[in-house]
């Protein structure tokens, strides 16, 4: 990795850490530049403004969320559907438990969405992505005769809501067996598959 690419990565990682701890309003580009070891004017080579850095970091987080929740329905069979569904929740739970700063930062974006339409719209898109991901998986499960076509829209919404709320509960520090909760939800949704 070249010097410019490394500096870019350092800025992104530092912004992630500082924004998650202090929020956007309490973190300046000067703070980030100092932590990275570059001058404040140098940070403008990479980002035109603090708002651009905040948006770029958000877009990176969204891609990360989508990669964790990706279900390749073409790989789904009646025999592996439960494992694929378990895996999505388990990967997300593991990540949330190990990297609580991710949730902290994401909650700062939720607050930002209350005053910025761009982020409000993007958060709605993420929610739709969750719903569509689970709905597409359940539709495919019906197509391959793994489950019956019984309220799959509602079932996919239940999974999406639970998936999203598990991450919120993890952030609170509440000690629950999140993986068992997720498995129970998947089992109930896919009832009849052994």
Task: Kindly tell me if the per-residue pLDDT of 7 is higher than 90.
Answer: yes
Mean pLDDT within 123-138:
91
**What's the confidence (pLDDT) of residue 68?**
81
Mean pLDDT within 130-155:
90
The CATH 1.10.357.10 portion of the chain extends over 55-190
**What's the confidence (pLDDT) of residue 2?**
58
Task: Kindly tell me if the per-residue pLDDT of 135 is higher than 60.
Answer: yes
Task: Kindly tell me if the per-residue pLDDT of 194 is higher than 70.
Answer: no
**Mean of pLDDT over the chain:** 90
| Residue 136 to residue 114: CA distance in whole angstroms | 30
The pLDDT tens digits for 42-91 are: 999 999 999 999 999 999 999 988 888 888 888 888 889 899 999 999 98
**What's the confidence (pLDDT) of residue 107?**
87
Whole-model pTM?
0.83
**What's the confidence (pLDDT) of residue 57?**
96
Residue 3 — very low, low, confident or very high, per pLDDT cuts 50/70/90?
confident
- Closest by Cα among 131, 147, 119 to 55: 119
The CATH 1.10.10.60 portion of the chain extends over 1-48
**What's the confidence (pLDDT) of residue 98?**
82
Widest pairwise Cα distance in the chain: 61
**Topology (CATH level 3) of domain 1-48:** Arc Repressor Mutant, subunit A (1.10.10)
- The CATH homologous superfamily to which domain 55-190 belongs is Tetracycline Repressor, domain 2 (1.10.357.10)
**What's the confidence (pLDDT) of residue 193?**
59
| Residue 116 to residue 120: CA distance in whole angstroms | 6
Determine which of 8-17, 35-44, 166-175 has the lowest per-residue pLDDT on average. Answer: 166-175
Residues near 134 by beta carbon (within 8 Å), at least 6 away in sequence: 71, 155, 156, 157, 159, 160, 163
Mean pLDDT within 110-117:
94
Determine which of 1-5, 28-32, 57-61 has the lowest per-residue pLDDT on average. Answer: 1-5
**What's the confidence (pLDDT) of residue 45?**
92
């Amino acid at each position: 990795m070249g010097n410019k690419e490394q500096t870019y990565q350092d800025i992104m990682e530092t912004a992630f850490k500082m924004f998650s701890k202090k929020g956007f309003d309490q973190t300046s580009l000067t703070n980030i530049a100092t932590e990275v070891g570059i001058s404040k004017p140098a940070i403008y080579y990479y980002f035109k403004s603090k708002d651009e850095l905040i948006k770029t970091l958000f877009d990176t987080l969204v891609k990360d969320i989508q990669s964790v929740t990706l279900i390749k329905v073409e790989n789904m069979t009646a025999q592996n559907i439960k494992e694929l569904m378990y895996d999505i929740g388990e990967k997300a739970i593991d990540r949330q438990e190990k990297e609580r700063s991710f949730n902290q930062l994401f909650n700062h974006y939720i607050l930002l969405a209350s005053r910025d339409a761009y982020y409000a719209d993007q958060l709605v898109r993420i929610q739709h992505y969750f719903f569509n991901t689970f709905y597409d998986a359940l539709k495919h499960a019906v197509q391959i005769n793994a489950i019956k076509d019984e309220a799959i829209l509602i079932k996919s919404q239940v999974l999406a809501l639970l998936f999203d709320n598990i991450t919120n509960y993890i952030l609170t520090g509440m000690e629950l067996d999140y993986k068992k909760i997720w498995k129970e939800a998947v089992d109930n949704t896919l009832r009849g598959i052994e």
